[in-house]
Structure 1
């Protein structure tokens, strides 16, 4: 079968697999997997009120904003990949944060002209304009069936009445205690008489409940204009930041066409820029699509995957940025012919030293993000990844708001061409400009086959893309979400030239074989986790549904009902 006819057949299979035209084509249940039981329950509460997957996404995302402040919140942003069953519309809602108009690169330099990591990571100068509130409003208004007063009700109730933070949150607060003490409102919100809270502590967030109520009542105006906006701007500017009320008023969620491509007999839908994830994922799977992986031993499969990762991460750093500000060769990078050229440079039994490829290095990214996946009874799909960047974001709370602001300014290349504290370089494509959005690795994705559909994503900073790659490879091989989220993971990102691996990812023999090929393999010490993946799936042939939440987390929940 020639390539053109294969694409026609694949398109027909995708249309059949995703069609919601008749009751027989719809799931008999709904599936939600998220990083917190309360958030998963909130999603089902929205469904039980008559909502769809998009209303459930509002409920899940807003509840995570309450119960998981170390990873996400209305002071941050995210990327939300949607598929509407009624008409097959696929879209990514880009709710990445934006640089304030008055951004000044000199703010991120110390007296010697070197990168100032403190200003980039902590306090009001590190905070970009949040996108999370706007995406909640857009989801409800343009895609959901419920008013915001209903889909935000679980989050408002939990914030007002209180909840007991899980061990992840308690540990995060303890690690950031000294930083939280720098700002009175931050210390008052998360510390108990200046000390980190203990397990069993009840956190009540009445100020956050009031902000969520304002959003429920007034939509975008409840956050980006009026009393909340004035309070945020005054608090940020009084502490040395550069926000303006105009920055907030001008914020908007962008609808972007997803990256789509075929891997064998599967249709992949994933995130476009300003995410780097979809392009890198397409490049890696296009490279691997040229091999019969099923006939190879595991060591050689890992070797080829690592070589694909190495090449995709080099291109990620070199070419990508905010699509509203940077022209990128997206069609070329995602073209199978380009991947074929890269594949030709891979030796079947030897590692390619990264310093033999054209040089560049990617900026660091946070491991502290949150992901959720949803399939509803109509066959609507949501893959949502949201973040405040590093643990507890900027650690800065504006008094009277009840939430931390993000520190997404650090996801920009704040000082182009100069190494940061990690010895890594940035790129002008990802330099901050007024209103621009920083590059991200968030990779919310759909996997669509003749019979099976999967919704996948994970936190994990620069590790996100490779974790999603490994999850997709396992899904197409027939694994269920419950098994996929528990797989031991490995990662390579071009520089440093090291294969990072979880304990148990490789047997001693596999590790030795990879090292004999020339790979440097670093097994992470202790139980440091790679990500917090959440995956759901629907088998149209059998009607079976699955929801898997990563066992690496303390409170994740995957439920089918």
Structure 2
């Protein structure tokens, strides 16, 4: 049973007691004498910057930099803190993928810790509890225990920090432990997400007591204390990943999952292992783009940038006002959405043409579609033909993701059911992203998630188990498999120095939102926070529908309609992806910025 105490609402940037005491962060400061505009959403700093979805998590990461930690220490500390304070979207029961730039070694690496199906043969059969339509942001989902895969979050992050971090595991987990033990203040977004998920919260008596004491969802200004989660974090700090993946904890979580209809077994936890991969690498003007390869969508975002450059879009005006530019942008995004179907699974069971999809050569075969009248359906291309094209010299020097042999089942026209890639993710608003850069210019871009809000709805031993089983497409479920996803953590270099880091939460909106923000900053030279504020658009490869945020000039809407799109206007909100970023200016000042669509906070020193 939790203890819930009503407290006055605290200011947005007020850190928990931990960051004021044992893990005190350096005072965030601007390099200018004036406070940066929109304090909390944008920061300028000389040494390091942390941007996450929550103030407490940003301060946790900054505290690690203050203690002499590096970007990976800070990213892992912030991720665990997010698992406490952003429980509907990420957490220890979820999964994570991150890209790191190691400045001294002048190399990049990708940590992949997607969820994994267990050994039960039932994983190979359709999920009888699967909803008939994709989950929507209305909180109406019941528990879906057969979507709960073995979580990769804890294993992947701890393994990465042990190999690349400078601090102890106890130091890195201390902020999360304090936030779980002492509580954090519930803000407007958490209250909204809790309210939208009442059915899931009520499904488990223990969860209901924690998040809905007295039968009411926690209100803005309440303090959420999570003692079981604190106990688990303390055990992980003491014993490492074994505290999560073996022994009594794994047994109890598996028993709870099976008791409500899930398929996990304690042996499935013990068998889990994360993966380290080489980055997908491409060129964009003077920048080198480093992303996460399959099973996530770094190559898809790289294709969007390639199309923008080769179609002349980067030499046009701001699409917010320029009608021709807006039409070309919508077309380039649509082509990338169609081609994302080429990365429909995990490389262990459905390898995709990562190199081909991200190549200039493949963009050259697709660029003619940019500017053509909108077709009812846009079929995906065949990037396998470019899979063995030589990478650019700047990428070759970075040992990028290797070429993949074309599997027999990947001939053009296959997988029509996956032609609108990641459609099963399309209506989600979930996932949490963070970026970190330290004084040595090591950098991390990391995305984590529990799937849809509160994941599968299975609450066990202080954690929400993910719903990443619903990332499998039709016919893709099988024992031992990991699914693919639209996560798009990204870093960009200029020469051998990291210049830009970004990524987003927002399901299938992630690669397109990341690409549009990257275009605005690295392509059109826009100020980072202005690029985040700018309206975005999201076409579909099937049909003419185009979701478009308010903020475009009225003639833009008319031009898009004349081109053949059926535009649906949307108010900018968290579902249209929340992008967080840092940008290193030529004068060495780091600009950190958090998307105004979400509760993100940028801090620096």
- Which TM class, normalised by the smaller chain length? 0.7 to 0.9
Q: How far did residue 305 of structure 1 move?
A: 2.2
Counterpart of 1:405 in structure 2 is 465
CA distance 1:496–1:97, change in 2 (3 Å): farther
Counterpart of 1:87 in structure 2 is 105
Answer yes or no: is 1:361 the counterpart of 2:379. no
CA distance 1:312–1:291, change in 2 (3 Å): closer
Conserved? CA contact 1:307–1:352, under 8 Å? no
Q: Distance in 2 between matches of 1:356 and 1:234?
A: 44
**Greater mean deviation of Cα atoms: 307-316 or 114-123:** 114-123
**Greater mean deviation of Cα atoms: 51-60 or 521-530:** 521-530
Conserved? CA contact 2:143–2:203, under 8 Å? no
Counterpart of 2:224 in structure 1 is 203
Counterpart of 1:328 in structure 2 is 352
Q: How far did residue 138 of structure 1 move?
A: 1.1
**Partner-residue secondary structure (3-state), 1:99:** coil
Q: How far did residue 116 of structure 1 move?
A: 8.6
CA distance 1:545–1:511, change in 2 (3 Å): same
Conserved? CA contact 2:342–2:353, under 8 Å? no
Q: How far did residue 206 of structure 1 move?
A: 0.9
Answer yes or no: is 1:492 the counterpart of 2:539. yes
Which whole-Å deviations, capped at 9, do the CAs of 1:275-328 have from their partners, x for residues lacking one? 0x2121122222222133354352222222222222222222245310011232
Counterpart of 2:251 in structure 1 is 230
Q: How far did residue 47 of structure 1 move?
A: 1.2
Conserved? CA contact 1:375–1:537, under 8 Å? no
Q: Distance in 2 between matches of 1:344 and 1:198?
A: 52
Answer yes or no: is 1:165 the counterpart of 2:189. no
Q: Distance in 2 between matches of 1:84 and 1:452?
A: 9
- What's the TM-score, normalizing by structure 2? 0.80
Q: How far did residue 160 of structure 1 move?
A: 0.2
Conserved? CA contact 1:364–1:411, under 8 Å? yes
**Partner-residue secondary structure (3-state), 1:308:** helix
Conserved? CA contact 1:70–1:172, under 8 Å? yes
Counterpart of 1:345 in structure 2 is 369
| C-alpha RMSD of matched pairs (Å) | 2.3
- What's the TM-score, normalizing by structure 1? 0.86
From 262, 282, 306, give the equivalent of 2:302. Answer: 282
Counterpart of 1:426 in structure 2 is none
**Partner-residue secondary structure (3-state), 1:202:** strand
CA distance 1:317–1:468, change in 2 (3 Å): same
* 1:286-435 paired onto structure 2 within 5 Å: 286-297=306-317, 298-347=322-371, 350-354=373-377, 360-362=419-421, 363-365=423-425, 366-398=428-460, 401-413=461-473, 415-416=474-475, 431-435=476-480
Q: How far did residue 496 of structure 1 move?
A: 4.4
**Greater mean deviation of Cα atoms: 93-102 or 352-361:** 352-361
From 549, 552, 556, give the equivalent of 2:594. Answer: 549
**Greater mean deviation of Cα atoms: 71-80 or 121-130:** 121-130
Q: Distance in 1 between matches of 2:511 and 2:270?
A: 33
Q: Distance in 2 between matches of 1:502 and 1:116?
A: 24
Answer yes or no: is 1:104 the counterpart of 2:142. no
Q: How far did residue 114 of structure 1 move?
A: 9.0
Give the gaps of 5 or more residues in structure 2.
1-44, 381-412
From 506, 512, 520, give the equivalent of 1:460. Answer: 506
From 247, 263, 285, give the equivalent of 1:264. Answer: 285
Conserved? CA contact 1:161–1:204, under 8 Å? yes
Counterpart of 1:437 in structure 2 is 482
* 1:245-256 paired onto structure 2 within 5 Å: 245-256=266-277
CA distance 1:410–1:318, change in 2 (3 Å): same
Q: Distance in 1 between matches of 2:272 and 2:313?
A: 45
Q: How far did residue 105 of structure 1 move?
A: 4.7
Q: Show structure 1 runs of 4+ deviating over 6 A.
A: 116-121
Conserved? CA contact 2:573–2:598, under 8 Å? no
Paired residues, number: 511
